[in-house]
Amino acid sequence: MSRTLVSFLGRFQRTAGGGGYQRVAYRFADSDRLIETEFFGHAAWKHLRHSADPVEKWVILGTPTSSWDCLFALFDELPEGIEAWLDQATGEIARGGIADETLRAFEAFASYLGVPDLKLRTMPLASDGAFVVLHDVLNEGARVVLDITHGLRALPALALLALGSLRWIKGVRLDDVLYGNFEGTMGGQPKDVVSLLRAAQLAELAPSFARIALVDDFEEAENVCAALDIGVKEDWLELRRQAILTTMLYPKEAVDQAKGLWKRLGRWPTAGVSMASVIGAWIRQRATEAIGGGARIPLEERLLRQAVKFLDRRDYLRCMLPLNEANKIVLADQLGVGSDFGEIRSALEKQMTAVWIVEDLTTLNQLRNHTAHGANDSLGNAAAAILREPERIRRFLKTMLSRARQALAGTPYKDIRP
């Protein structure tokens, strides 16, 4: 999708000499060309318009009392009618605020600035003002270069927060954040433009962080690690593979395979306060939690940790799978039998275990099979009733987790109390 430059316009104090932004020659990192202007947004537009990935739209945001009349100085040659517009804009600003119609009128002069699509908007300081305005002016899937040089300082911050939501609502992406320092210029020395690309990357990676934290999607770790130079590709692939093995419940193989993963992640940097070291340490910690704490932790404990995590998220399907598996492992160990549920149930009945314990274990096994395989004909009355009430599912799973914890702590299943 096309790129859009979003700039902000502030309000400067006028003097007898007219006042205005200081004229500065700006130098961009990827160009030897100097661009001299009073309004940095104009320099950014000229540079980005002729880059390998050109911008197609320019959005300028301000308040009703911003110095909109300074845009008059951007023209190399004055188009017919612009002086009348300047008189009207200056008068409106002096009387308390420029009218929306006056801003729209300036957009008609955009072609004289070499701007195919120009939008001027006032942005209310209300908490939803930035969101509403940006939703209106940005195209679906727009890639935004945010120029934070001028304007009331709150505006860029509000816009950045709004862009975070618009990523999901309109597919808007943040390509870069630019700052052109226009203060303290001595002897006409050019100013280097600062690209806050790392900050933009951090904003872009926020959804990947969320998917890692919320659903253990370690495929997203590849996006993060590649962008921030953490580890190597083989590390990311092994992390993804191990997470899939654990989620798909190949427990014994997962335990064995995890040993190589912990060695790999142990080589990631932990010292210092760089973005890479902090985020790398966080991914490693999340992987440890998601995959059950590493190969040193007993399998049934790993599975119960997964069950707790999924229950907290109300992800009941994924909770049932490790919870049922953990119960079977603990029971098989206590009873000295295999992990087949029929064999486990028979052994419990021979021990004269309370009927309600056997029935609840049977219900959990049925729920697991039903949700995993759609085996509707295997549901008993208790399991069928539980599935009709989400809160009842939650209460039942919490009960079964508590019993599994008791059993793991050494209490024989036959002695467990409700």
- Could you identify the residue written with the tokens 């226009």? 182
- Taking the C-alpha atoms of residue 138 and residue 132, their distance in angstroms, rounded to an integer, is 10
- Taking the C-alpha atoms of residue 410 and residue 407, their distance in angstroms, rounded to an integer, is 5
Q: What is the 3-state secondary structure (H, E, C) of 381-407?
A: HHHHHHHCCHHHHHHHHHHHHHHHHHH
SS3 12: coil
pLDDT by residue (tens digit) across 33-63? 899 888 899 999 999 999 999 999 999 999 9
Alpha carbons within 13 A on the beta-carbon side of 342: 0
More confidently predicted of 247 and 4: 4
Instruction: Kindly list the domain boundaries of the chain, sorted by start residue.
Output: 3-195, 206-290, 316-415
**Which token pair is 312?**
């907290």
CATH C-level class of 3-195: alpha beta
More confidently predicted of 259 and 249: 259
More confidently predicted of 166 and 12: 166
pTM over 0.85: no
pLDDT by residue (tens digit) across 187-246? 567 888 999 888 888 888 888 888 888 777 777 777 788 877 777 777 777 777 777 766
pLDDT by residue (tens digit) across 114-151? 999 999 999 887 768 889 999 999 999 999 999 999 88
